Amino acid sequence: MTTVFANFPVTDLPRSIVFYEALGFQKNEEFSNEQASALVWDDTFWVMLLTTPFYEEFLSAGKVVADTKKVSGALVAFTVDSVEKVKELGRLAEQHGGRVRRVNRDIPEELMYELEIEDPDGNQLEPCWLKS
């Protein structure tokens, strides 16, 4: 089994933890401190929230952290069990300071449904449901 860790730079770690917990992620205290927090979706998908100075420690010399409110650094997609779950995540994101956008891909909702969710720092998640 492979586990994916999406690392996101954040400007306000406590605010970001509240946002991701509201979406249903669970904080793993063992891998959290004042510089970073591990938020677990399931056994295979974690979001690692890193304060910007801590995130910078992982970059090569000369690289800078993208301002994800202005440019996209990554779009992290993951599947959920239903269209309603995707919509629920969108509602929760908006209620907790995130932005949500539906991209029309001309694919019927009965086959696929996805939303683009931005956290308060502009990091992007894309929960999606696919007919199996």
Digit-coded pLDDT (tens) for 79-101: 999 999 999 999 999 999 999 99
53's CB contacts (< 8 A; 6+ apart) are 35
Q: What is the structure's pLDDT at 18?
A: 98
Q: Where are the domains of the chain?
A: 4-130
Average pLDDT over residues 60-72: 90
Sign of the C-alpha dihedral computed for residues 113, 104, 6 and 33 taken in this order: negative
Give the N- to C-terminal CA distance of the chain in Å, as an integer. Answer: 21
* CATH class held by domain 4-130: alpha beta
d(CA 17, CA 14): 5
- pLDDT at position 1, please? 84
Residues 6+ apart with CB under 8 A from 55: 7, 8, 9, 65
* Predicted local distance difference test score (pLDDT) of residue 87: 97
Judged against a pLDDT cut of 90, whether residue 121 lies above it is answered with yes
Encode pLDDT of 8-65 as tens digits: 999 999 999 999 999 999 999 999 999 999 999 999 999 999 999 999 999 998 899 9
pLDDT at 132 over 90: no
Q: Residue 103 pLDDT > 90, yes or no?
A: no
User: Has residue 105 got a pLDDT over 90?
Assistant: no
